[in-house]
Each structure stands twice: as C-alpha cells, then as structure tokens.
Amino acid sequence: MSIIDFSEEQSMLLETANEFCRENSTISVVRAQIDKEESVDAELWSRIVELGWLGVSIPEAYGGLGMGLAGAVPIVESMGKYLMGSPYTSCILTAEVILSCASEEQKNQWLPKIIEGSVATTALTEEDGNWRLEEISSRAEKDGQNLVLTGSKCFVMDGPMASLYVVSVIHEGKPRLVLVTGDQVTAGRLTRENVIDETRRSYRLELDGLVIPESQLLQGADFSRIEMAAMLMLVAEMSGGLSGVLHVIIDYLTTRKQFDKYIGSYQSLKHPTAQILLSQEACRSHLYHAATQITENSADAIAAIRMAKAQGAEAFAFAGDRAVQFHGGFGFTYECDAQLFLRRALWCQYQFGDSAYHNELLAPLLLDEVV
C-alpha cells in the first residue's frame, strides 16, 4: 500500500530493490548472518555491486549514475524493510562526504573505487557518543609533511571490511576531516562493539599515534551536509523498517487465535495497528519530501530532514515496541522476529539525535518569523 506518487525512475528502483531484498534477506538469512563476523555475505555484496547501486548517488563524471543522494533512498528503504545488513549506507555516506569536501584528485581516486565495491565508512562519533561539530575531541597535529592523530571513535560501521575511513578531527583549532586508508589501520586499532542492533558491525577505532600524509586532509568540512545526508539514510531505513514490522504484526494478528477468535479482531490491538499504518505512511511522506529537498542547503531542507528524523524515530520505536507486546511472553524471547525490528528501531532512534533533540532544533526554524 502506498499513497506516494513516485517518479517512474523511483518506482523502478524501488521495485527492483524490494524484490532483491525480499529474495536475499529473509529472516532466516538475517539470523544466520548475525553469528558471522561480517555484516554481509561476500557473494551478496558482489551482486549489490553488480547492480550498480553503489554508484546511484555519484555523478556520471566519476562513473556513477548521477541520481543524487535521493537515488539511494528506495534502496536503503528496501534494505530496512528486510533488515538487510551491509556496508551500503556507510559507502553512500562516505561518497557524499568525498563529493562535498574532497579535492578533484581525491574524488577521482576514491569514488570509482567505491562504485566498484571497495567498502568505505565514516568515523564521526567520539568515544562518549558525541558526533556534533563543537564536541570533537580527536586531534590531528602537524608533524613535517604528516599528521599525527590522537583520540578514538566509536560506532565505526564495518571497520575491518573498509579500505577507506573518513575521520573527523580538530586540526589547527578547527573541525576538519581526514582520509585514513585501510592499510593504515593496523592490527589492534579496531575493537568490535556490542550494540543493540545485532545486524550491525560496529567498531571502536583507536587513533593514538596513527600517522598519515598531510595530503589526506580534506579541503572542506561541510558537517551540516554530512549530518543531513546521514539522517536521510537513517530515515529511509526507518521507513522500510516500519513497513517490515507492520508486516510482522499483521501476520501474527491474522493467524493467532484466542477464545476461537483471531486476536486481530480485538479493538485493543486493531487501533494501535492502524496507528502504526498511519505513522508509516507519514514517515514515507516525510522521507521522500526530504529526499527532494536534500540538494538544497536551505532552512526548508534542514527542517524537512529534521522533521523526518523526529517523526520516523518515534514511529518506528513505537511500532517495534507494540510488535513485541502483541506477541505476549513470546515477544520477549530471542526467537521472536519482532525483537529484531525493535533493536533496529532503538539503534536508529539515537543515531544523530533522538526526536527530542531534533524537535528542539526545529523550533527556531519554525518560529523565527514569529518571535
């Protein structure tokens, strides 16, 4: 069910991505992958690369499809619907950072490699969980023609698979970004983190004493653009997750009986389910509106993305919680699929700020002309 009018290009991409993820990311596959070291099977990643999805947001000048960041939204939404674990969103975000902040030489060096399947990721979150520009504690100090890094980062996705990391640091008193290659991240610098979403592969990156050439310092540091891009990808995941968890709920309510009646016939379960459907459609509406605005760095674009993140986070967390509760005691067991969606919802909710954080930042944008 959809009340959103997609373009022909979006519809085709969404249909292809939805079919691919449905066939290749069943719940049994998701559960099996949880026990493995990497977030995605190597063969599956090769197929994603072959589909050209890593180039959807990258301009044609660098070998991409030139659809912009909005082009990745239907793919990430489908992955979210089926809980597909992969470095895809990390690669898309890293490509966006390079496009926004790197030199032409760096773009030509790295963007074609990402398109070809080299995993790239970001290291933007400090060890205390802060990602905000004014609270970066990692440092890059000049030493001749090199930079010496200090500090550590958490929530570095798919670290061991990555051939490239984009790391936020303070350099000469200002927030900057540096490139760190996979071969520069020597043994012992990455430590696996236990996070609530078990489909993720999150790592702590130790930077102390890591030396890189000064040429790996990016010329720009558009942190606002990076934050907006990261949130758009999160909202796409949450929109897909809402659809996926709603399917789990409906499947259970229409098959489980109590007192010779399907439990979906009880008002106390019907009303929250209808509320989840409404919130799912609202989330998708916010998502695709934000996707059309992302190319502009305007107050309207920022407001659209913050509204999408605030609404989507609350809606997905509520849906995940209801899905667990509707399953009764079984819902609190590891065998219940609903808990996988709740874990994903809680992870997405707090990345780059929860609803309260974005509501607080939205208020000045909405009230500037009033107060």
- Tell whether pTM > 0.85: yes
Query: Cα(277)–Cα(319) distance, rounded to whole angstroms?
Result: 9
Mean predicted confidence (pLDDT) in 133-137: 84
Structure confidence at residue 1 (pLDDT): 44
Asked if pLDDT for residue 129 goes beyond 80, the answer is: yes
Least confident among 43-52, 160-169, 356-365: 356-365
- Condensed to tens digits (0 to 9), the pLDDT of residues 188-200 reads 999 999 999 999 9
Mean predicted confidence (pLDDT) in 121-139: 90
User: Confidence class of residue 263 from pLDDT cuts 50, 70 and 90?
Assistant: confident
Neighbours of 60 (CB within 10 A): 10
Nearest-CA neighbor of 303 among 312, 315, 293, 288?
293
- Condensed to tens digits (0 to 9), the pLDDT of residues 315-360 reads 999 999 999 999 999 999 999 999 999 999 999 999 999 999 999 9
Mean predicted confidence (pLDDT) in 147-169: 96
Walk me through the domains of the chain, giving residue ranges and CATH numbers: 8-117 (1.10.540.10), 120-216 (2.40.110.10), 223-367 (1.20.140.10)
Structure confidence at residue 371 (pLDDT): 42
Mean predicted confidence (pLDDT) in 246-274: 87
Structure confidence at residue 6 (pLDDT): 64
Give how far the C-alpha of residue 297 lies from the chain's centroid of Cα atoms, to the nearest Å.
20
Mean predicted confidence (pLDDT) in 292-321: 91
